[in-house]
Amino acid sequence: MDTTGTFWMPPANSTIASEVDALFYFILYASIIIFALVVGLSAYFAIKYKRRDGVEAINSKGLDHNVKLEIFWTVVPLILVMIVFVWGFQTYMKINVVPKDAYEIKVTGQKWFWSFDYPEGGNSVNEIVVPVNKPIKLLMDSKDVVHSFFVPEFRVKMDVLPNRYSITWFEATQVGEYNLFCTEFCGKGHSEMVGKVKVVSEEEFEKWSEDLAFSGEGMTLKDFGAKLYVSKACVTCHKIDGTNSTGPPWNNLFGKEEHLSDGTSVIVDENYIRESILNPMAKITAGYQAVMPTFQGILKDKQIDALIAYIKSLQEDKSLIQDESSQEDESLKNE
Ligand code: CUA
């Protein structure tokens, strides 16, 4: 199994990758050989038959074509092109026909992250976890503009469109972590729309699936929120050290008076945060672009509660938070 990669290609870590590479190298080397022949012979003949004083041009002796040579340089390229066509078509069909026993994951692209929904009900953001040696079907669409799902080491690349599903599949052959890129320019955050494909053993995948369904039991809401802050990729746009990023920082946010782009202002409370998560376009903080995606359907109510508790915990001036203790009690009751 090739895991090292070459000058031309990254490591080949899916069932289809070595086949794609073999065709690529065939075309590459055939092109190099033909290029060298054409350019080399042109140069050689140009020098050998250059015009000299006192030497008559060959063509004047009535030589105008050579049937054998012409058949040769027509038939040989035809054979080469047919090989590339048949080989390419077969590989194309393999890439596009999903095996029947494939495990299906719903992929959603939006500005600017990936989310993945698993058949068992859990979801993950920017990290798709799959079992090794099992065909994985990806059912993909976009919530906004065109994105593209690209995992170089699997040789898998497929556009992700709004209002229409696209489908692709792969079978990873090697446990490990692989880069996932968006390869369709989709706006300001395009270059940050990167994720990971984590390929794990069958047992590890089952354990991970169970964890995914984890609802924060045995954890305080605040700690659960801190976990979600990273796992749901809030961290990409919201910092907690006071620095501005794509979105407002979360520390010292709760209880603050926030000026909005329409000239009004709001006090950041539980309802404002909840609305901002589910319907981000409703109230845009002045000085920021309206780019936050909705987390409707991605976050459950309890997860939103946890994020609110986490944001509250990042407020240094505790006098702005009245009901923190009652919230903590709530989480204990839920257990
Ligand atoms: Cu999404 Cu580029």
252-302 pLDDT, tens per residue? 888 888 888 888 888 898 889 999 888 888 888 888 888 888 888 778 888
**What's the gap in Å between 182 CA and the centre of ligand 1?**
4
137-141, 144-148, 261-265: lowest mean pLDDT where?
Answer: 261-265
Residue 262 vs residues 169, 253, 268, 290, 316: alpha-carbon distances, Å: 45, 19, 16, 12, 28
Please report the atom of ligand 1 found closest to the CA of residue 112: 1
CB 309 within 8 A of CB 301: no
Does position 335 have pLDDT exceeding 70, yes or no? no
* Average confidence (pLDDT) over 113-137: 88
**What's the gap in Å between 238 CA and the centre of ligand 1?**
19
Residues with CB under 6 A from ligand 1: 109, 112, 147, 182, 184-186, 190, 193
At residue 12 the predicted structure's pLDDT band, cuts being 50, 70 and 90, is: confident
The per-residue pLDDT for 324 is: 47
The per-residue pLDDT for 3 is: 56
pTM of the predicted structure, to 2 decimals: 0.64
CB 131 within 8 A of CB 205: yes
What value does the mean pLDDT of the chain take?
86
Percent with pLDDT over 70 in the chain: 91
Over the stretch 170-199, which tens digit does the pLDDT of each residue have?
A: 999 999 999 999 999 998 889 989 999 999
* Average confidence (pLDDT) over 227-255: 86
Q: Shortest CA distance to 120 belongs to which of 213, 185, 36?
A: 213
Over the stretch 20-55, which tens digit does the pLDDT of each residue have?
A: 999 999 999 999 999 999 999 999 999 988 888 887
Phi, psi (5° rounding) for residue 50? -65, 160
**What's the gap in Å between 233 CA and the centre of ligand 1?**
16
Over the stretch 318-333, which tens digit does the pLDDT of each residue have?
A: 777 765 444 444 444 4
The per-residue pLDDT for 323 is: 54
The per-residue pLDDT for 59 is: 66
**What's the gap in Å between 193 CA and the centre of ligand 1?**
6
> Hey, whose CA ends up nearest to atom 1 of ligand 1?
147
Over the stretch 158-167, which tens digit does the pLDDT of each residue have?
A: 999 999 999 9
Sheet holding 166-170, edge to edge: 123-125, 113-117, 103-110, 136-142, 166-170
The per-residue pLDDT for 330 is: 47
Please report the atom of ligand 1 found closest to the CA of residue 190: 2
**What's the gap in Å between 144 CA and the centre of ligand 1?**
10
**What's the gap in Å between 188 CA and the centre of ligand 1?**
9
Q: Shortest CA distance to 181 belongs to which of 205, 159, 208?
A: 159
Angle at which helices 301-313 and 324-334 pack, to 10 degrees?
140
Please report the atom of ligand 1 found closest to the CA of residue 146: 1
Please report the atom of ligand 1 found closest to the CA of residue 182: 2
Please report the atom of ligand 1 found closest to the CA of residue 148: 1
At residue 223 the predicted structure's pLDDT band, cuts being 50, 70 and 90, is: confident
Compute the 3-state secondary structure of the chain and give helix, strand, coil in percent, each to the nearest 5.
Answer: 40, 20, 40
At residue 119 the predicted structure's pLDDT band, cuts being 50, 70 and 90, is: confident
The per-residue pLDDT for 108 is: 93
**What's the gap in Å between 187 CA and the centre of ligand 1?**
7
